[in-house]
Amino acid sequence: MLDQESRDSETQYSRAASQATAKGGTVYSYTLLQEPPLGYESQAPYYVALVELDDGGLVTAQLTDIDGSLQIGDRVEMVTRKLTTDGSQGMIVYGYKFRPAL
């Protein structure tokens, strides 16, 4: 699977997103989303950002643990979080979010 992906240079940034080695980055852009899709209502409003990873590439992800102000260029780090609960069976979907660098 990895070999197949590595042959496809078009997906290199996507792989950076899902298999990033660096956990740190900076906020490239962000927004506070008020109208969530089904399954995300309990979290709304929540921050969504494009994060520029330290080893290159952008990742689309939620920001978490934002208490005060937020600006483009802020340092953030990747953490594992629950993203949503899938359907009536209640399977939990885990993934990555970013929080202010500690």
Partner 1 sequence: MNVSIIGAGMIPVREHWSKGIRELAAEAARLALEDAGTACVDALYVGNAYGATFNQQTQLGSLIGAELGMNGIEAFTCEAGDASGGVALRTACLAVESGLVRSALVVGVEKATDIVGPARVGARNISLDADLESVNGVTMTALAALMMRRYIYQNNLTLSDFEGFSINAHRNGAVNPCAMYRNKLRDGAFAKAPMIADPVSLFDCAPDGDGAAAVVLVGSDLAADMVPQPVQICASAVATDRFMLQDRDDPLHFEAIGKSFFAALEQAQLGREDIDLLELHDAYTIMTALALEAMGYCLPGAGWTLASDKGSHIALEGDLPVSTFGGLKSRGNPGGATGVYQAVESALQLRASAGANQVPDARRALIQNIAGPGSTVVTHILQRQPDEA
Binding flag, residue 99, partner 1 (CB under 8 A): no
Q: Which two tokens stand for residue 14?
A: 């996507």
Q: Residue from 5, 26, 46, 54 that binds partner 1 (CB under 8 A)?
A: 46
Q: What H or E segment, with its residue span, contains residue 86? A: strand 75-86
Q: Which of residues 10-29 bind partner 1 (CB under 8 A)?
A: 10-11, 13-14, 17-18, 28-29
Q: Which residue has the tokens 């340092």?
A: 75
**Is there binding between residue 6 and partner 1 (CB under 8 A)?**
no
Report if residue 55 touches partner 1, rule: CB under 8 A.
no
31 binds partner 1 (CB under 8 A): yes
* C-alpha gyration radius of the chain: 15
CB 70, CB 63: distance < 8 Å: yes
Q: What are phi and psi of 41, to 5 degrees?
A: -60, -40
DSSP category for residue 37: P
Q: In the complex, what is the shortest distance from the CB of residue 79 to partner 1, in angstroms, rounded to a whole number?
A: 13
Site for partner 1, rule CB under 8 A: 10-11, 13-14, 17-18, 28-41, 43, 46, 48-50, 57-62, 72, 83-84, 93, 95, 97
